[in-house]
Structure 1
Amino acid sequence: MLLEFEKPIAELEEKLADMKMLASNNDVDVNEAVKTLEKKIKKLKKDTFDNLTRWQRVQLSRHPERPYTLDYIYEITDEFIEIHGDRTVKDDKAMVGGFASLDGQTIMIIGQQKGRNTKQRQMRNFGMANPEGYRKALRLMKMAEKFNKPIVCLIDTPGAYPGLEAEERGQGEAIARNLKEMFMLKVPVICVIIGEGASGGALGIGIGDRVLMMENSWYSVISPENCSTILWRSWDYKEQAAEALKPTAKDMMTNGMVDGVIKEPVGGAHVDTSAAAKELKKVLVTHLKELDKISPEERIDQRIDKFSKMGVVAS
């Protein structure tokens, strides 16, 4: 699938492939032309992806080929053991987690999981967790704390599931409890927005000593489409809503909402999942080493201070 702004690049890449095939079939030397076209493609890619609008970043974060939580888990960790169920209602397939080895260190890794095809999307509920998903996540966090293992949360959700049954089972309470409990965890906690970071659905596993964003992800109280619907009674103003919300990694970094931005390959993480995962792993290992040097009490104090300062304006 090509996004609208990717089409000019795809056209040149198709032209390059045709040129190489023509040269191969007819034994024609087109090396200079190939080099020129490759340079043109490289420049166009850089110019395009360096100057994306906020709405285009949102679109890129939802690219159907973009790596999801389990893709990253299998790329950056070894010996992943998934743990199921919240011990109250059921196992929420939209929230996954378990113990794994990261660079030789045992961690608890948790995140929202989307699906690739229709059947998987239904099973994963489009990455929208029910209350039992957040309760499962908290159970795993408490287990990690019990065994003194750091926690990594990978966030990628269009929001917590807004259905009637979710509200009946206490969606708001489950997220609120997670916020409270995550502030007090004695082990290091790193949260990374890898795709969509929408509303309380993201914040429900988003309280950490370090909150990071992949370069082409977004993080906001509401999606641009829903914001447009509320303000203009139409989805037609989603681009304007995105500009007003400023939800991109660059915006969040500028406003002090996150602690770092993780670079992606030119074109997005889906272009080279292994390279994106390698960069993510490097950043996680670095931050875990830093946090390990800080005492649990000091980490908790810093965590509380960090979030308490958000939205405060000093005159």
Structure 2
Amino acid sequence: MPSFLDFEKPIAELQGRIDELRETAADGNVDIDADVRRLQAKSDKLLKDTFARLTPWQKTQVARHAERPHFKDYAAGLFDEFMPLAGDRAFGDDQAILGGFATFRGRRVMVLGHEKGEDTASRLRHNFGMGKPEGYRKAIRLVGLADRFGLPIVTLVDTSGAFPGIQAEERGQAEAIARSTEACLAAGVPVIAAIVGEGGSGGAVALAAGNRVLMFEHAVYSVISPEGCASILWRTSDRAADAAEAMRITAQDLKSFGIIDTIVPEPVGGAHRDAAAAIAALGDAIDAALNTLTPLSPAVLRQERRDKFLAMGRL
């Protein structure tokens, strides 16, 4: 049973009543099947109705849900023979950004992305998915390897943003992000980016400058977090919901603006409720994009990518 978000309290209450009924009838002397079916149908309908009309701020909460699939889940569920590569050959290895060679449905690919971690220890080890300069320089190295060997690149974006610490700035955070974005734009192979949770700021764009940008139905993608935007505009993070609404950060808005190309449907209630189904849906979307892009020449792939990003924001 997934943990419930604040706006899911009515659903949580129904599930609590169902659990209580099952405990009451644990001895087998009471027939509760009809009551359980009725309450479960009511809960399922409420869940479906709730997720059909999520606000941008509620989608942000879903995108950040700790139980959503992470990079390691996608690596295990979508890719065979994943061989991780470490280090930027200059400073060290950043565990917030992982990547390496893999096989995807019979194709050799390079896969890389953000890893947030699934518990306290791993979240600290992966720095909550906030990449440092050495992480983005590792990404540059892997993109270069993929380009050299003619391997399509798949990136999985899930970060609140690049790490803003003093040490990261001292090691050239902005330059590393810019060069990672440049490497993705310059690659002569298909680049497919998927926003699987949060896509925050330049830390996301550095891995998302692809020929095709896919995005989960309840993911978010923005230049700054709603809290950060609210702190700048209204001097308080309490208005994060207003900021999320104003910034148009949902997949549905971004598709209409041409920022992303494909919305990947999630299971009812979000990817965290049925990770296997969500991973499979993303795999189908990646496969479809690869089928379209693989026949194109390096020159055409680069030009298409250039045209795609230069068109953003034009009236």
TM-score, normalising length from structure 2?
A: 0.96
**Aligned counterparts of 1:238 and 1:169: Cα–Cα separation in 2:** 31
In structure 2, which of residues 187, 191, 203 is the aligned counterpart of residue 201 of structure 1? 203
Q: One-letter code of the match for 1:45? A: L
Deviating more after overlay: 7-16 vs 220-229: 7-16
Comparing 80-89 with 70-79, greater Cα deviation is found at 70-79
Distance apart, 1:44 and its partner CA: 0.2
Give the Cα–Cα distance (whole angstroms) in 1 for the partners of residues 120 and 17 of structure 2.
33
In the other structure, the counterpart of 1:244 is 246
CA displacement 1:131-184 (0-9 Å, x = unmatched) = 111110010011111111100000011111111111111111111112222212
Give 4+ residue runs of structure 1 displaced > 4 Å after superposition. Answer: none
Letter of the structure 2 residue corresponding to residue 111 of structure 1 = G
1:95 has 2:97 as partner:
yes
Q: How many residues align?
A: 313
Q: Structure 1 residue 24: deviation in Å?
A: 4.9
Task: Output the amino acid matched with 1:118.
Answer: T
Q: For 1:56-67, what aligned pairs fall within 5 Å after superposition?
A: 56-67=58-69
Matched AA of 2:30: V
Give SS of 1:64's match: coil
Mapping 1:23-172, distance limit 5 Å: 23-172=25-174
- Distance in 2 (CA, whole Å) between partners of 1:2 and 1:219 is 23
Structure 1 CA distance for aligned equivalents of residues 121 and 42 of structure 2: 40
What is the alpha-carbon distance in structure 2 between the residues aligned to residue 279 and residue 27 of structure 1? 43
Alpha-carbon separation, structure 1, partners of 2:28 and 2:171: 68
Counterpart amino acid of residue 289 in structure 1: N
In the alignment, the residues of structure 1 paired with residue 277 and residue 29 of structure 2 have an alpha-carbon distance, to the nearest angstrom, of 35
Q: Answer whether contact 2:143 2:183 (CA < 8 A) is retained.
A: no
AA partner of residue 92 (structure 1): D
- Once the two structures are TM-superposed, the CA of residue 23 in structure 1 deviates from its matched residue by 4.0
Deviations 1:23-79 (A, max 9, x none): 452443333323222221111011111111110100111111111111111111111
Partners in 2 of 1:223 and 1:3 — Cα distance? 19
**Letter of the 1:110 counterpart:** L
Could you list the per-position Cα deviations for residues 244-290 of structure 1 after superposition, in whole angstroms to 9, with x for gaps in the alignment? 01101111112111001111111111111111111111111111111
> Percent identity at matched positions?
48
Q: Distance in 2 between matches of 1:192 and 1:264?
A: 13
1:269 is matched with 271
Deviations for 1:118-138, whole angstroms, at most 9, x for unmatched residues?
A: 322221111111111111001
1:65 and 1:42 map into 2 onto residues whose CA distance is 19
Give the drift of 1:16. Answer: 1.9
> Could you tell me how far apart the structure 1 residues matched to 2:7 and 2:242 are?
17
Distance in 1 separating the partners of 2:162 and 2:268: 30
Gaps of 5+ in 2: none
Contact 2:56/2:244, CA 8 A, preserved across alignment: yes
Could you tell me which runs of 5 or more consecutive residues in structure 1 were left unpaired when the two chains were aligned: none
RMSD across aligned positions (CA)? 1.3
SS class of match (2:207): coil
What is the CA–CA distance in structure 1 between the aligned matches of 2:154 and 2:276, rounded to whole Å? Answer: 19
Q: Mean Cα displacement is larger for which, 41-50 or 171-180? A: 171-180
232-241 or 120-129, larger mean C-alpha shift = 120-129
Pick one of 12, 15, 18 that aligns with 1:16. 18
Q: Is the 8 A contact 2:214 2:285 kept in 1?
A: no
Range moving further from structure 2, 23-32 or 58-67: 23-32
Which aligned pairs between 1:185-200 and structure 2 lie closer than 5 A?
A: 185-200=187-202
Structure 1 CA distance for aligned equivalents of residues 26 and 205 of structure 2: 54
The DSSP-based 3-state class of the residue aligned with 1:137 is helix
